[in-house]
Structure 1
């Protein structure tokens, strides 16, 4: 009987650890009001002023971290943070992540397709303010998913 209790405790701890590990790291820093424009993450969760935002949903090799927002308006949002990028040398699984300071701008808000009463930013602009990933231009624009 004791052995079954031990197994159950181990399984519960493992499940809790797994749930924590797969929870989105880009949780919003404040509660969203109905009037807020959002940014939609890789898991289709709307967020306002996230601390982190995963750019490379497929492989996780590019993420914005330490985000500090100076403006979050209906037409645009601006802030600063770090773009943490895998150099993929000699290949991505063995690569090293490097942090690069960036300014961030979100714009082109549109209604969400599945929730037309909610507006979301559809473009992300990064400007590398110091170092930048090899081969990457100083300014980069990404079309965000809907």
Structure 2
């Protein structure tokens, strides 16, 4: 009888140890990324956190940012690089050519977003062109939707 009790005890301890080793692995939920403190509101009134693409000309899409890579993003501003794709509208926009310009992007002036008061949104976008630019200006600033 003693043998049976020892074997049963050993089996129960092994099972409990195995269960203890397995439960934390299966119970551990993946960590969600932290909620953004500040967003860039897009043309569809959605808050974007570090967007890869961003349309500047909401009406016709003839001015947009692509291949965005952000080096910083926070409540005091965001800085990144990318490509500004602009329709030259020559001879008119429907027949124009999309031209690409390397650009440095800066987002500033974060304010409370009325649509989602728990978030702040950037209200200003500044593009700096290290080379050529669409309108020969080295720097352009836009007011963002939201």
TM-score class normalised by the smaller sequence = 0.7 to 0.9
What's the TM-score once normalised by structure 1's chain length?
A: 0.75
User: How many angstroms does 1:74 deviate by?
Assistant: 1.1
Match of 2:143 in 1: 143
Q: Cα deviation per residue 1:15-47 (whole Å; 9 max; x = unaligned)?
A: xxxxxxxxxxxxxxxx87334210010001111
Q: Give the length in aligned residue pairs.
A: 115
Correspondence list, 1:46-125, <5 A: 46-125=47-126
Q: Cα deviation per residue 1:92-119 (whole Å; 9 max; x = unaligned)?
A: 0000000000100001000111221111
The whole-number CA distance in structure 2 between the counterparts of 1:120 and 1:32 is 19
Name the larger-Rg structure: 2
Gaps of 5+ in 1: 1-30
Please report the RMSD computed on the Cα atoms of aligned residues, expressed in angstroms.
1.4
Which portions of structure 1, spanning 4 or more consecutive aligned residues, are displaced by more than 6 angstroms?
none
The whole-number CA distance in structure 2 between the counterparts of 1:60 and 1:111 is 26
Q: Cα deviation per residue 1:69-93 (whole Å; 9 max; x = unaligned)?
A: 0000111000000000000001000
